[in-house]
Structure 1
């Protein structure tokens, strides 16, 4: 992360993969029957939790990789593949981070119906900031060369949190204006951008693992 484009790329990637607009229908579904105060609290907790996940991944992600003896090149390939799979979900108008099976979805809905907070699970994890988001932050954290660049990456967590808060706060108007078709179009567009970025991350990791590919 050196040039202005290098600094902007992580933000574009994060906004594309988190994509709060795509989670608006889930927010509306899970907060049905909530009072205004409960909805506002859910918005605040979800936004703050998203920031915490991104900031923690940026500050501690590399240390965790080192602890488990995982090279950043291997992580880039794995993370890039995860991003690519997420982008394919988005191209099918599904959230990048989503529940993997019906049992998990039903368990979450039961918790919501019992009055449990859904701000952290499932809205923040995994719908907003799941494994693909964490992988992205760690990969870009490795590219930082100065403390201020790392702080910029953490700051992008604030941007994502604000975007989440705005999207959830305006959930009903957004759903009325865009409709399901509009949200699907936005999700597919973000998915296309994410797919291109995923290929770039994977190629970078592969050239580090197999230097001969660089010459090829």
Structure 2
């Protein structure tokens, strides 16, 4: 195993994914959806996100392209679907439903959807990882593939740990803002999520139009 190659791909993976994922933005989503919850709930969700994110990244890297081909799903379609989900989440945050009394703070889990998918591992992240996997598959034999894949997987692990730690820091901010601050913050983030979802949707439409134009 070539340590230099491993370190190179580990670094490239972390540097490439963190800006795309934007864990602080996911932390704000957790903050907006955790109104009325306690510290244990937020920490539990953050840990679950770390595990779910690592699994999602590995699955996308190793079989993501095959899954998309199996179901004949294109990247533009992935962006369109992700955009719709994000808009729906943002709409519920901007116009929250009346709260139902619930004494069990751990009953509802938001770790997988929307925190892991599509907040952290969204269409852009998936497209980047699938592109990376396709590029690595074309490498010649002189490259140590064990080091390459090990570096990428360890990079996924580090990114997942960073995301989990960032989300776990949402509780101090939750306490600092107070109930009124959380209500206002939730609506602001809901509006921003709607804008993000519309942007994903628009990009998906643009890519679809480009594909259709190339076929004509």
TM-score, normalization by structure 1: 0.61
- Tell me the residue number matched to 1:123: 110
Cα RMSD, aligned residues only: 4.4
Structure 1 contact 51–160 (Cα < 8 Å) conserved: yes
Q: Distance in 2 between matches of 1:74 and 1:206?
A: 16
- Residues 114-153 of structure 1: pairs in structure 2 closer than 5 A: 115=104, 117-118=106-107, 121-130=108-117, 133-136=120-123, 137-144=125-132, 145=136, 147=149, 148=151, 151-153=154-156
Q: CA deviation at 1:65?
A: 4.1
SS in 2 for 1:92: helix
Report the CA distance shift for 1:190/1:26 in structure 2 as closer, same or farther (over 3 A). closer
Report the CA distance shift for 1:131/1:169 in structure 2 as closer, same or farther (over 3 A). same
Structure 2 unaligned spans of 5+: 1-11, 137-147
Residues 145-154 or 185-194, more deviating: 145-154
Structure 1 contact 20–163 (Cα < 8 Å) conserved: yes
- Tell me the residue number matched to 1:192: 195
SS in 2 for 1:74: coil
Report the CA distance shift for 1:72/1:51 in structure 2 as closer, same or farther (over 3 A). farther
Structure 1 contact 46–124 (Cα < 8 Å) conserved: yes
SS in 2 for 1:122: coil
Q: Distance in 2 between matches of 1:53 and 1:171?
A: 23
Aligned residues: 189
CA offset digits 1:50-97 (Å, max 9, x no partner)? 0111111111124444665626982423321122113423553628xx
Which residue of 29, 36, 39 corresponds with 1:22?
A: 29
- Tell me the residue number matched to 1:182: 185
Q: Distance in 1 between matches of 2:155 and 2:204?
A: 20
